[in-house]
Amino acid sequence: MTGAATVSNCPVCGAPVEPGDQFCEVCGTPLTEDAKALGVSAGEPVRGAGSAGPEEAWAGAPQSHSTPTAPAGPSGRTAPCVRCGAPPEAIDVDGYCTVCGLLQPGPRDHLELDLGWAAGVTDRGRQHPRNEDAFHLELAGPAADYGVVAVVCDGVSSSVRAEDASESAAIAAATVLAAVVGGAGSLADATVHAADAANRAVMALPWTPTEQMASPACTLVSAACRLGQIAVGWVGDSRAYWLGPDPADGIRKLTVDDSWAEAQVETGRMTEGEAEADPRSHAITRWIGADAPAIDARVITMTPALPGRLILCSDGLWNYASSTEDMAKLLDSQPPDATPIELARSLTSFALTAGGHDNITVVIIDLPVPRNEPTPIQDTEQDAQESTEQAAEQDAEQKGMP
């Protein structure tokens, strides 16, 4: 082959590219015309939707890309006011009816995606005027690899265009992860690059500065799974949990909140109870966006010895079951044979019944027995403790609770 890469970063995952590279070493995307001519592209994975377990889901999966996110805002409205019947043109740019004043249901008020062994639900909740959460869920790669990608983002309410930030971040991160899960490369490296891509996508959003609101921002938690290997990455306080097949094993929280409260506890300044009681407890110390601290996403990798259930959620759920013990009790109360979509719906209903004070997003993924040797959970972020200590010293720069 002839030709050399003329870009400094991969156009799909954003990883650094050396002069002369034909393919991205992280996601496998071809970088030159010669490479593209070979017809190999990790940036176009096989995707689909299924019905039951991983084997059945992949066996008949249609080759389609699924995402539950939808553009926010009233542009293109075709429905009349749900209260008074005023025509669509009577709905203003903020989604309010100019005749009766009712805020109209938004396209993201409640969304569900059911892929059989993986499913997700997002809901506006009872208190917020719009849903600033977003999630992206898809199957990726050859059927035998059991590849799946999930991203949950929670827009920071104190920032402008929070709903657009979460959607842009979810799509950008999922694009990078799907390229690697469906091709080749390190899931851990891809997870870091995915968060970087999400950050760039949010930074690219046009916005008008205001005195009251910060630049567009959101949190992010992601999962990339392939051949029994799992990489979970996060920035902020959206969480991931692992639930094994034996209730006696309990539930394991995979993420550590990037929050003021967690920083106080980890540095020994406060006990967990003292930190949670402080009004600053839910202020986040890391986020995705233009003015975010320059720290890579934290990454956890593991290859479980047994099949299990991976749960990703925003704080709209875990606020009502904040401790691992509380979350374990909540999950123990669910039907043991609940499918992913049934469990996602049930947990969302629980949060709504508990008050629904925030947007709620829940993604459930059932994973099969791994092919590879099981490995313990590993935190691949070298400076996790250091970044936490730095965060604790940035109290005056807190972003606020999403």
How many domains are contained in the chain? 3
Domain hosting residue 38, numbered range:
1-42
Residue 194 belongs to some domain of the structure: yes
Q: Give yes or no: residues 148 and 214 share one domain.
A: yes
Instruction: Give the mean pLDDT of 221-242.
Output: 96
Residue 249 belongs to some domain of the structure: yes
Would the pTM of this model clear 0.85, i.e. be above it?
no
Question: Which of 276, 244, 230, 237 is CA-nearest to residue 259?
Answer: 237
| Residue 62 confidence (pLDDT) above 80 | no
Cα–Cα separations (whole angstroms), residue 308 to 294, 321, 323, 340: 34, 20, 20, 12
d(CA 192, CA 301): 12
Q: Give yes or no: residues 50 and 86 share one domain.
A: no
The backbone torsions φ and ψ at residue 200, rounded to the nearest 5 degrees and listed phi first, read -65, -40
Q: Give yes or no: residues 184 and 112 share one domain.
A: yes
Q: Give yes or no: residues 101 and 246 share one domain.
A: no
Question: For the domain that residue 378 is a member of, what is the CATH number?
Answer: 3.60.40.10
Q: Give yes or no: residues 122 and 84 share one domain.
A: no
Residue 200 belongs to some domain of the structure: yes
Q: Give yes or no: residues 224 and 265 share one domain.
A: yes
Residue 402 belongs to some domain of the structure: no
Q: How confident is the model at residue 26 (pLDDT cuts 50, 70, 90)?
A: low
Q: Give yes or no: residues 220 and 86 share one domain.
A: no
Q: Give yes or no: residues 17 and 58 share one domain.
A: no
d(CA 220, CA 297): 9
Q: Give yes or no: residues 176 and 214 share one domain.
A: yes
d(CA 140, CA 190): 14
Residue 155 belongs to some domain of the structure: yes
d(CA 384, CA 377): 15
Q: Give yes or no: residues 84 and 156 share one domain.
A: no
The backbone torsions φ and ψ at residue 162, rounded to the nearest 5 degrees and listed phi first, read -60, -40
Cα–Cα separations (whole angstroms), residue 122 to 87, 107, 132, 155: 28, 11, 10, 13
Q: Give yes or no: residues 374 and 391 share one domain.
A: yes
User: What is the reported pLDDT for 80?
Assistant: 86
Cα–Cα separations (whole angstroms), residue 238 to 138, 151, 259, 402: 19, 10, 10, 10
Q: Give yes or no: residues 204 and 285 share one domain.
A: yes
Average the pLDDT over each of 7-11, 211-215, 275-279, 324-328 and give the range with the smallest value. 7-11
pLDDT in tens, 68-86: 443 333 335 677 888 898 9
Longest CA span, the chain: 66
Residue type at 43 in one-letter notation? G
User: What is the reported pLDDT for 365?
Assistant: 97
Question: Which of 316, 283, 281, 282 is CA-nearest to residue 154?
Answer: 316
Residue 211 belongs to some domain of the structure: yes
| Residue 58 confidence (pLDDT) above 50 | no
